[in-house]
């Protein structure tokens, strides 16, 4: 990549940057937490979709990765990762075929919340010489997928056990709706209540004679609680590696390592500056972008290809100046770019293509 070795401010804008020191600190902070615990980290690659970052998480101790889509899992398996969970139900026949093909090259697990879907998965592996690991997806109040905990989960687990070709690996529960609950103590109480439902369901299944080796749950916002609950075996966390302005408010122990480099293109008035990076470079479904490392500049508007900054009297933002913006939404911002530029000591150390960018299928 021709960008490597350039000074940061020599990059064409908009450009997606990673502060490599901060990212490595984030990886270490999370790895330190899990050292010696019963629960392990399963790194969620949906946030970066980039193999080298997944490998860095694995090297630091993550037991495997999880992906939102089959396409993303294909990218990670192709990069050499052997333990990959897909965290959405896979129902389309063509996608089930891809999942089975992938299971010939890695350990693939997938959540199930419907008995017919389980049967379709079992039919697809028949004669293929592989097993698919499935997790009963437990609805924990997020309003998304999942069967209710307790008896409904038990009934689904029994029906899965009867199917050849599927290995019931345990339970998955996603409590994304509490990841950002404030204050953090209230979040802790709510997570413990929800994970309690998961653990009770696990025990119900065990009393029914099943083995339930895996309970997979959690997120960056809940890792420190989920990762301490007896019976939880893995925590799915992704955002911690790069963070965003929004999530950082809720887990400030991880630094904002991602930013978008932009250029001031207009100073129409003394209190207003316009940059060349807007919603096509910075995803803003919620929250407001922050200006990184400069006082007196505040984001007051984001348009398709421009961000509007309010400039206080003393602040410096001349036409042509470079401004770094911390996006409010990590996953969405990464999706808008072709590559990360890894920055250290003011220079471009790495240019990493976002190989899984278009793996939403």
The binding site for a second copy (CB under 8 A) comprises 12-14, 46, 68-69, 88-92, 94-95, 113-114, 116-117, 139, 143-147, 176, 263-268, 272, 274, 276-277, 279-281, 283-285, 301-306, 308, 319-320, 331-332, 335-336, 338, 358, 360-361
Contact 149, 216 (CB under 8 A): no
> In this structure, how many other beta carbons lie within 10 angstroms of the beta carbon of residue 67?
27
Residue matched to tokens 């615990």:
37
Contact 131, 97 (CB under 8 A): no
Give min distance, CB of 129 to a second copy, in A. Answer: 25
Nearer to a second copy, 4 or 189 (CB): 4
Give min distance, CB of 288 to a second copy, in A. Answer: 12
Strands 214-217 and 234-237 turn out to be parallel
Residues in a beta bridge with 147: 138
Give min distance, CB of 11 to a second copy, in A. Answer: 10
Pull the structure tokens for residue 181.
């609950």
Give min distance, CB of 332 to a second copy, in A. Answer: 6
Give min distance, CB of 49 to a second copy, in A. Answer: 10
Alpha helices in 208-262 (DSSP H): 223-226, 245-248
Give min distance, CB of 251 to a second copy, in A. Answer: 18
Nearer to a second copy, 214 or 276 (CB): 276
Of the chain, the end-to-end C-alpha distance in Å amounts to: 28
Residue matched to tokens 């969970």:
85
Nearer to a second copy, 291 or 302 (CB): 302
Sign of CA dihedral 75, 81, 87, 89: positive
Nearer to a second copy, 233 or 359 (CB): 359
- Tell me phi and psi for residue 324, to 5 degrees: -100, 130
Nearer to a second copy, 217 or 233 (CB): 217
Nearer to a second copy, 42 or 233 (CB): 42
């Amino acid at each position: 990549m021709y960008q490597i070795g350039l000074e940061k401010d020599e990059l064409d804008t908009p450009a997606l940057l990673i502060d490599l020191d901060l990212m490595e600190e984030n990886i270490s902070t999370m790895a330190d937490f899990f050292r010696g615990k019963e629960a392990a980290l399963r790194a969620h690659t949906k946030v970066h979709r980039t193999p080298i970052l997944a490998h860095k998480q694995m090297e630091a101790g993550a037991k495997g990765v999880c992906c939102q889509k089959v396409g993303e899992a294909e990218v990670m398996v192709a990069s050499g990762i052997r333990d990959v969970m897909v965290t959405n139900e896979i129902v389309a026949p063509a996608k089930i075929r891809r999942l089975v093909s992938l299971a010939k090259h890695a350990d693939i697990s997938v959540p199930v919340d419907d008995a017919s879907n389980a049967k379709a998965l079992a039919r697809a592996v028949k004669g293929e010489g592989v097993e698919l690991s499935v997790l009963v997806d437990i609805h924990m109040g997020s309003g998304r997928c999942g069967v209710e905990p307790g008896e409904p989960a038990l009934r689904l687990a029994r029906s899965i056990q009867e199917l050849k070709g599927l290995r019931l690996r345990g339970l998955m529960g996603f409590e994304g709706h509490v990841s950002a609950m404030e204050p953090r103590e209230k979040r802790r109480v709510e997570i413990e209540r929800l994970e309690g439902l998961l653990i009770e369901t696990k025990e119900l299944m065990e009393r029914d004679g099943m083995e339930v080796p895996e309970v997979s749950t959690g997120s960056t916002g809940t890792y420190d609680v989920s990762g301490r609950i007896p019976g939880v075996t893995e925590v799915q966390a992704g955002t911690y590696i790069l963070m965003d302005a929004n999530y950082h408010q809720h887990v400030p122990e991880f630094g904002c390592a991602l930013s978008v480099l932009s250029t001031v293109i207009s100073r129409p008035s003394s209190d207003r500056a316009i940059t060349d990076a807007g919603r096509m470079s910075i995803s803003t479904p919620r929250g407001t972008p922050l200006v990184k490392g400069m006082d007196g500049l505040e984001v007051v508007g984001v348009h398709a290809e421009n961000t509007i900054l309010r400039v206080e009297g003393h602040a410096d933002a001349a036409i042509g100046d470079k401004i770094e913006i911390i996006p409010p939404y990590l996953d969405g911002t990464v999706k808008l770019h072709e590559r990360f530029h890894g920055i250290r000591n003011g220079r471009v150390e790495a240019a990493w293509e976002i190989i899984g960018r278009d793996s939403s299928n």
